[in-house]
Structure 1
Amino acid sequence: MDKRSLKNLDLLFVIFTFLLLAASLLILSTASINVDKADPMHYVKVQAIWILSGIVIAAVLATFDYQKWRHFRWWIYGLNLVLLLAVVLFGSSAKGATRWIPITSSFSIQPSEFAKIFIIITLADFLADRQGKLDNFKDFILPFLFVLIPMLLIYKQPDLGTTLVFAAIFIGMMFVAGANPWKFGGLLFAGIAVIGVALWLHFATNLPSWLHWAQGLPLPMQDYQLKRLAIFVNPAADTSGDGYHIIQSIWAIGSGGFWGKGYRMGTQGQLNFLPEHHTDFIFSVVGEEFGFIGTVTLLFIFLIFILRSVSIALKARDPYGMLIGTGIISMFTFHVLVNVGMTSGIMPVTGIPLPLISFGGSAMWANMAAIGLLLSVNLRRQRLMF
């Protein structure tokens, strides 16, 4: 990389990225202290390793010209499918899902996390070649099939949360690529309506006589996924079972009040009433111990981080760079909105972690790879003329 490109570096984006990484270690130092009694700081030390190695990944990708990825589109897409198929054939299972490929006895990777980055890189090239050619319904078919194949492999694991992230990435990138907003938007609205009607028919108990044949309509979802949707509507229906997670999360956030209970002074998290409080429900710990002030501060950091990402995408030197930025922005935004929504009780539980904050190696590496790609776009936003 030409050193003159460093003048394009978005320092505010870099600063707020490091603020999020620092926040991850701070929050984990209280959220995970009682998870491993033998080594209270175990998760913090491991997360620090993921962060440091992730910074190296981001730096390497930032120095690599993002345009060169276009030459390897089909190789990357093929690698993505191979890794997802490997999960089906050789994957290890935990908590009813098969999402990991064991590398050693104590280390495994989650290909679905990296699949998000692979699909952003490859779909960006796929759509960049079709700009101005996404006006009709038939033009949407190939891009949809391009994303659908890896989506189905991820859904089979089962991993509904990451499947929905793929959908968010696809929708965001399609609109920016120039898909006819009325026709594409109409398809989305129709799809959401069909899903809504299907869910209503599945859960409804007092249907009119002429609809009795459709009552209990079977859906291609796991039982626990259907229970999560049912509990979302009425968490109090099963306070000690499927509704336990969301009730404990709401109590934790609500009990924090304005200033919070204080660092390591929470009850729901510290006494392990709140499940998965160092991963999916880490935002609940922020609400309980740091209160309204803490949650607003964290969300403000995310807001600036995403707004700077938007600025980088808008200043990209070509459509390919803008589409990469759009995919990454869609991914991060969806993750934050859904995680905060599910921990607050306004969205169903989907198991989507809070990016750059929740504990997890594959997720951290994938997120840092996304940041590296954004920086690569940012550093090359202007062509060097001499």
Structure 2
Amino acid sequence: MPRATLSRLLNRHPVRPPDSGMSRRKSLWENLHLDPWLLVLLLLLVGAGLLVLYSASGQRGDTVMAQALRFGVAFAVMAVLAQFSPATFFRWAPLAYGAGVAMLIAVELVGDIGMGAQRWLEIPGVVRFQPSEMMKLATPLMVAAYLGHTGIPPRLRHLTVCALIIGVPVVLIAMQPDLGTSILVASAALIVVLLAGLSWRLIGMFALLLAAALPLLWINLQSYQRQRVLTFLNPESDPLGAGWNIIQSTTAIGSGGVWGKGWFQGTQSQLEFLPERHTDFIIAVLGEEFGLVGMVALLALYLVIVCRGLWLAAGAQDTFGRLVAGSIILTFFIYVFVNVGMVSGILPVVGVPLPLISYGGTSSVTLLAGFGILMSIHAHRRLLPR
């Protein structure tokens, strides 16, 4: 073909570069930096939580409204955090960690005492909160920021620094005493270390060290904490005392059968045999009133949320983002596993609420704040050429 003819054809039909996705209009959800699928799943979970809470609280509308307002605040925090870039969280990690440790020290000095534990700080007339909840996010963020700076896989000296970062808040929380939260904080941070590429040799070495330290840990447990472990091994040893909670919870779940007794029809919960039925043991209320079908449906919803979270985490494009996103969603899974395990009798009772179902404000804000960070990591990922 003559060059002049080719030139005329190109001018008439110019060749356009392939669409890289940069020029298309962004959707509303992309502009808001929110993942619509994860948001819908979380709203479904919260709705189910309010439904069960209404029954577990004895049909108290004020309790449900208070929880709904807390969820509103938590979703607002999630939406705000999703607007910040992961680089911002990388810079904020040391500040958040330092502020959290300072507040944990303040709890030891001037914290409020409730139910035999000193876990709360109160700003008179404004808010009462648990600083330990903040450390569920601040500690893994700090570990991820440190490992993101030093590089992965971590060497032994880096793991020593990580141990110090994790150990300070865990010890302070355990002194309150709050064994359940201290375990969750440690778990969230240790997941970051594992995701950083810890070798199996080091994992085995640390497992042996932990096993060797178990007698020392046992000696330093509070008497009621040791009793919880012994009760887990044999609940019938003290059926009217330490074994009461687990016996009543397993009885409630078992009595629900396949289809349950019906909403408001649970005897263990409505007649107040079941302790802490609106907080730690709320899934027993669900099992009694909605049966095996209700529990499977709830666990399936949790599983879908975890799978969606892992899919979002897999799209992270830098070390810090991958470590934080993986830690957030896997820690969420641990919350569910520990609560369901302790209520059904396969784990000791450690006082871990069921995520976004149990009554509570600070834990709800912390959980949804984590999902906000997860959405931020996904929304701010760089568009790589194909």
> Is residue 30 from structure 1 mapped to residue 40 from structure 2 by the alignment?
no
Instruction: Give 1:13's aligned amino acid.
Output: L
**Unpaired runs of at least 5, structure 1:** 35-39, 200-217
In the alignment, which residue of structure 2 is the partner of 1:144?
Answer: 163
1:124 Cα offset (Å)? 1.4
In the alignment, which residue of structure 1 is the partner of 2:300?
Answer: 300
Partners of 1:299 and 1:358 in 2: how far apart? 14
Partners of 1:4 and 1:335 in 2: how far apart? 28
In the alignment, which residue of structure 2 is the partner of 1:213?
Answer: none
In the alignment, which residue of structure 2 is the partner of 1:101?
Answer: 121
Partners of 1:57 and 1:335 in 2: how far apart? 20
> Is the 1:168–1:330 Cα contact (8 Å) retained in structure 2?
no
Partners of 2:271 and 2:38 in 1: how far apart? 36
Kindly report which structure 2 residues correspond to 1:176-255, keeping only aligned pairs within 5 A, or say none. 176-183=195-202, 185-195=203-213, 219-255=219-255
Match of 1:21 among 43, 46, 49: 46
- TM-score of the pair, normalised by structure 1: 0.88
Match of 1:76 among 74, 96, 108: 96
> Is the 1:57–1:365 Cα contact (8 Å) retained in structure 2?
yes
> Is residue 110 from structure 1 mapped to residue 135 from structure 2 by the alignment?
no
1:192 Cα offset (Å)? 4.1
Instruction: Give 2:208's aligned amino acid.
Output: A
**SS of residue paired to 2:120:** strand
Instruction: Give 1:291's aligned amino acid.
Output: G
Kindly report which structure 2 residues correspond to 1:256-267, keeping only aligned pairs within 5 A, or say none. 256-267=256-267
Partners of 1:188 and 1:270 in 2: how far apart? 46
1:310 Cα offset (Å)? 0.8
Match of 1:127 among 147, 156, 178: 147
1:4 Cα offset (Å)? 8.9
> Is residue 66 from structure 1 mapped to residue 86 from structure 2 by the alignment?
yes
In the alignment, which residue of structure 1 is the partner of 2:311?
Answer: 311
**SS of residue paired to 2:139:** helix
Deviations 1:326-385 (A, max 9, x none): 221232111100000000000000000011111001111111111111111121123489
RMSD between aligned residues: 2.1
Partners of 1:25 and 1:106 in 2: how far apart? 24
Partners of 1:8 and 1:44 in 2: how far apart? 29
1:63 Cα offset (Å)? 1.0
> Is the 1:175–1:181 Cα contact (8 Å) retained in structure 2?
no
In the alignment, which residue of structure 2 is the partner of 1:204?
Answer: none
Partners of 2:31 and 2:324 in 1: how far apart? 20
1:67 Cα offset (Å)? 1.3
> Is the 1:134–1:180 Cα contact (8 Å) retained in structure 2?
no
Change (3 A) 1:375 1:133: closer
- TM-score of the pair, normalised by structure 2: 0.88
**SS of residue paired to 1:278:** coil
In the alignment, which residue of structure 2 is the partner of 1:43?
Answer: 63
In the alignment, which residue of structure 2 is the partner of 1:214?
Answer: none
Partners of 1:88 and 1:9 in 2: how far apart? 38
Change (3 A) 1:14 1:357: same
Partners of 1:116 and 1:375 in 2: how far apart? 17
Structure 1 vs Structure 2: percent identity of aligned residues? Answer: 38
Q: What number of residue pairs does the alignment pair up? A: 360
1:41 Cα offset (Å)? 1.5
Deviations 1:120-150 (A, max 9, x none): 2222111112333524x44321111111111
In the alignment, which residue of structure 1 is the partner of 2:332?
Answer: 332
In the alignment, which residue of structure 2 is the partner of 1:348?
Answer: 348
**SS of residue paired to 2:118:** strand
Query: For structure 1, which segment, 71-80 or 272-281, has the greater mean C-alpha deviation from structure 2 after superposition?
Result: 71-80
